Amino acid sequence: MTTLDAGIGRRRPRAAGRTTAAVPQAQPDEVADTLSARDGVSRVAVLLQTTASLLWLPQAGLLALAVGSIAAGSDASAAWLPALGILVLGVARAVMDGAGTRLAFRRARSHLSVLRNEAVAALAETSPLDVTRPSSGFAASTLAEQAEAVVPYVARFRPARSRAMIVPLAILACVLVFSWAAALVLLIAAPLIPIFMALVGWRAKQASEEQLAEMGSMNAFLMDRLRGLTTIRSFDAVDRTATQLRASAEDLRRRTMAVLRIAFLSSAVLELFAALGVAMVAVYVGFHLLGELNFGAWGGRLSLAEGLFILLLAPSFFEPLRDLSAVWHDRASGEAAFDALKKLAASGRKTLVASSAKGGRIGTGGALSLSVEKLVFHHAEGAAPVFHDFDLEVEPGERIALVAPSGEGKSTLLALIAGLVVPESGTIRIGGPLVDGANAADLRASIAWIGQDPHIFPGTIRSNVTMGRADVDPARVSAALEAVSLSELAARRGPAMIGEGGFGLSGGEALRLALARASATPQAGLVLADEPTAHLDRETAREITESLLRVSRGKTLVVATHDPVLAARMDRVITLNAPETAGARS
């Protein structure tokens, strides 16, 4: 929609499940499959880091060979060549590991941006009247805070998991070449670590999900209370609200500490098993070299170089598992963040490119006809119908007023026409094409919405008119501001910023700004206005009425209003609860 303002109506019509008339919603499983297919891990980064870890094998071999040669009586000069090899391999390890780490981090940040864009796009496609839409506090918490857990999960945990699957096997194979006993010790100690980590991980993931959910709930609670701070003060409920917020913060603290306790527990258990494994290998090699244990070596006895090589590899055998344990908490937090982003993405709807094939696009610039036939809609199951077999015909260029007491369906009818909610039955046509799930988004490009409480974004007056639309040229913006008598204000303020929610503007100026948005949209052939003069003094209401009539010149205008003066300026007045509109609720 051209100027889709926050707070479209005071009532929130029921959306049909998670689907609105704009576009059909993607199923959660479908969205999850799409996201899981792109895990964001750079295979090159994993390869570089894994290769850097494997380079320790030839380094350890050269070191053991040098020490064994010196112990056998060779001259110290015999160690120069192995030392040079160790230096070269060490430099290569550092370069490859650093490059892999940087590449993994950049890929993780890029993948997080993709996930955020998908979630934001899905939220943008969701009707603001959908009662199942995630709260703004939860969405902001998920996108800004929880989503950051994806970066360490993708950049650190997944490469560490790959190393833990490859490096220990390579070390085990090298140890097995010289001693089956030492390899058996490592083989017995190794499975205990991932088994215990898996057991701890299941609980860690659950704790992380609970902690993230509590964080989102707390943010939503705080945002809701900040918005209603005036009401809270009016009812002297500040202390009670502060107590609730304190209890929520305490609950979040306990859940966060539970996650950290599990993370430290997994690390401590890993260190215990790793230390026991290395100690058992060291004991075996030591007693074997002393002649106390005469088994376990393929050649009968291990040489000093062979024993030292095994001892050097034993700690490295557990190092990938130790690294995996260090980032095990990232796994729990990252998967919980992934799930939260998937839920946000699943709350939106997938736009169908087949809309143009169904004739959804209509000509731009001219007044549009409006046809409503046999419309049926309920706010909730079992409730009285808001509309039942309701019919309405509006000719191109006609201006009509919808008049009815509060709660009789004026705002709901505008939302149905705009395709923001789904009618239970009946048809709505704008300019000929049917408003349905496939083309409602395309049709909204030809509709301008003006609400009684338009949302003003931080920025200049001109940026609030263009709304980031590249097709609005400066000359059209100037003409739009002139049409709504905002030229002088725009010239006076210049590049000065408007605060969030229109701070610095009066109510009448904010409404004029919303009218300028509609005026600056040449393709808008239908203008929907919801109570544009409500809560305004008589003089300001008169000015807004004149501006609305100028903006809607050459367009079709449908106004929901209680204002008899505004209704009298229209070509036709439709009273929704009148006998001649028996389709409306009486």
Give 366-384 pLDDT, tens digit per residue: 788 899 998 888 877 767 7
Contact 422, 15 (CB under 8 A): yes
Say how many residues make up the chain.
586
What are the phi and psi torsion angles at 563 (to 5°)?
A: -80, 110
- Coil, helix or strand for 449? strand
Backbone angles phi, psi at 375, to 5 degrees: -75, 130
Walk across the sheet containing 526-530 and list its strands: 447-450, 526-530, 556-560, 399-403, 572-575
pLDDT band at 356 (very low <50, low <70, confident <90, very high): very low
CA angle 433, 437, 440 (to 5 degrees): 50
Residue whose pair of structure tokens reads 């790793």 in the numeric block: 274
Q: Which of 37-51, 88-102, 407-421 has the lowest mean pLDDT?
A: 37-51
- Distance, in Å, from the CA atom of 580 to the CA atom of 538, rounded to the nearest integer, reads 31
Q: Where are the beta strands (DSSP E) in 250-398?
A: 370-377, 387-394
Burial 261-273 (b: 16+ CB within 10 A, else e): ebbeebbebbeeb
DSSP for residue 555: S
pLDDT at 217 over 70: yes
Kindly report which listed range (95-104, 211-220, 479-488) carries the lowest average pLDDT score.
Answer: 211-220
What is the rounded CA–CA span in Å between residue 129 and residue 550?
29
What pLDDT, on the 0 to 100 scale, is given for residue 2? 45
- DSSP-derived secondary structure letter, 26: P
Nearest to 363 by CA among 217, 205, 481, 526: 526
Which range, 162-171, 192-201, 497-506, is most confident?
A: 162-171
Mean pLDDT (whole number) for 344-348: 72
Q: Identify the residue with better confidence: 112 or 12.
A: 112
Structure tokens of 123?
A: 């939220």
From CA 433, how far away is CA 444, in angstroms rounded? Answer: 12
Four-point Cα dihedral 541, 542, 545, 550, nearest 10: -140
Domain 37-346 has CATH 1.20.1560.10: yes
Q: Tell me the pTM.
A: 0.58
Domain map of the chain by residue range?
37-346, 370-575
pLDDT tens across 116-162, in order? 888 888 887 777 666 667 777 777 777 877 788 888 888 888 888 88
- Kindly report, residue by residue over 399-457, the tens digit of the pLDDT: 999 998 887 888 889 888 888 888 888 889 998 888 876 777 778 888 888 887 888 88
**370-575 belongs to which homologous superfamily?**
P-loop containing nucleotide triphosphate hydrolases (3.40.50.300)
